[in-house]
Amino acid sequence: MAGVAREAIALALVLATTASVLLFLPDSCSAVLQRFHQPIKANGSLSLLVVGDWGRKGQFNQSEVATQMGKVGEKMGIDFVISTGDNFYTDGLDSVDDPAFEESFTNIYRAKSLQKQWYIVLGNHDYRGNVSAQLSPALPKIDHRWLCMRSFILNSEIVDFFFVDTTPFVESYWSGDGHQYDWSEISPRESYISNLLKDFEAALKESTAPWRIVVGHHPVRSVSEHGDTAELLDLLLPILKVTSLIPNSCTVARRLTFSLVSWYLKITG
Ligand SMILES: *[C@@H]1O[C@H](CO)[C@@H](O)[C@H](O)[C@H]1NC(C)=O
Ligand SMILES: *[C@@H]1O[C@H](CO)[C@@H](O)[C@H](O)[C@H]1NC(C)=O
Ligand SMILES: *[C@@H]1O[C@H](CO)[C@@H](O)[C@H](O)[C@H]1NC(C)=O
């Protein structure tokens, strides 16, 4: 989210379960949000890395973070990577031919362990560039790891990930904060958001996975300098509460372990 470069954050998440019964997830569900499926390991576990605020052509310690991600990814045997957006600073991509795609992504995350599927959402800095370029099917042809959409769902047996496009929620981006945003294809804001919330709520309610994780660029609550995101508190949080993460199958015996390792790197702007 940083306007001027302030921080690069890489998070590693390990999800492991020794579920004796794996839930079968029907593939019907939401009409609109596209779904993807990520198999879990044979022993019922899943490992992944999460990174956000990264595209710096290697600068601002992006390369150093990438090296550490490669090492941890190897150690954990990660299955995939999630990007929470701000994929390309400071103004997204210009087009699918923008060399930043390779300079900030392909050529940076070269470690063997990172040659997995990346599931990617957009941040506010991505919206300052050409959004359709980042969403274009041309990019996975350049680098097959790239899977970027505004909002989508990833089913992975023990966990459902809900990727939510949070940037359009933030009113100040629409009302002129001194930057240009690419709202083409989603304007007007109100109908885009109400449709998205409807689809998101329906999908959350239908989810039977023991874990449900919502991924977005902007935090609902935060102690960082940006603070809470008022629009998400107002519009998204009520849906998260209604469809709370209460397990809906008491018959499934399971033991989940969840650990969070994070690197937090302060950088000068
Ligand atoms: C499952 O296997 C992976 C390696 O394939 C290992 O790293 C992980 O610790 C195992 N998890 C469990 C819960 O046994
Ligand atoms: C990179 O990180 C080091 C600390 O590891 C710091 O001294 C340096 O200023 C950082 N470089 C940039 C460009 O932020
Ligand atoms: C955005 O990128 C697409 C794909 O490269 C390109 O066709 C389009 O002309 C670009 N739009 C603008 C406004 O540059």
Per-residue pLDDT of the chain (269 residues; tens, 9 = 90+): 654 333 333 333 333 332 222 333 334 434 589 999 999 999 999 999 999 999 999 999 999 999 999 999 999 999 999 999 999 999 999 999 999 999 999 999 999 999 999 999 999 999 999 999 999 999 999 999 999 999 999 999 999 999 999 999 999 999 988 999 999 999 999 999 999 999 999 999 999 998 899 999 999 999 988 899 999 999 999 998 876 543 333 323 232 333 333 332 222 22
pLDDT score of 241: 83
Pocket test for ligand 3, best of 93, 130, 184 (most atoms within 8 A of CB): 130
pLDDT given for residue 26 in this prediction = 39
Amino acid in the structure at residue 60 = F
Any catalytic annotation for residue 226? yes
Residues 6+ apart with CB under 8 A from 230: none
Looking at residue 167, what DSSP letter applies?
G
How many whole angstroms from 176 Cα to the centroid of ligand 3? 22
Count of Cβ atoms closer than 10 Å to residue 172 Cβ:
11
* Residue 84 falls inside a structural domain: yes
pLDDT of residue 16: 32
Instruction: Report if residue 258 sits inside a domain.
Output: yes
Structural domains counted in the chain: 1
Whose atoms come closest to the Cα of 139: which ligand?
3
Residue-level pLDDT at 244:
54
- 3-state percent helix, strand, coil for the chain, nearest multiple of 5: 30, 20, 50
Q: Which atom of ligand 2 is nearest to the CA of 59?
A: 13
Domain around 94: 7-20+30-266
Residue 25 domain-assigned?
no
Does a structural domain hold residue 158?
A: yes
pLDDT at 129: 98
Cβ atoms 193, 217 nearer than 8 A = no
Q: How far is the CA of 18 from the centre of ligand 1 (A)?
A: 10
Residue 191 lies in a domain: yes
H or E element that contains 48:
strand 46-52
Pairwise CA distance, residues 227 & 220, whole Å: 9
Which residues are CB-contacts of 27 (< 8 A; sequence separation ≥ 6)?
A: 35, 37, 155
pLDDT at 242: 73
Compute, in angstroms, the gap from residue 175 CA to the centroid of ligand 3: 24
2: in domain: no
Structural domain contains residue 59: yes
Binding-site positions: 53, 86, 89, 124, 217
Q: Which CATH number is 57's domain given?
A: 3.60.21.10
Query: What pLDDT, on the 0 to 100 scale, is given for residue 235?
Result: 97
Q: Tokens for 186?
A: 């989603």
Residue 1: inside a domain, yes or no?
no
Q: Is the CB–ligand 2 distance for residue 267 below 6 Å?
A: yes
| Cβ(45) – ligand 1 distance below 6 Å | yes
- The atom number, within ligand 2, closest to the CA of 268 reads 14
Residue with CA closest to ligand 3 atom 10: 95
Which backbone phi and psi does 117 adopt, to 5 degrees? Answer: -65, 135
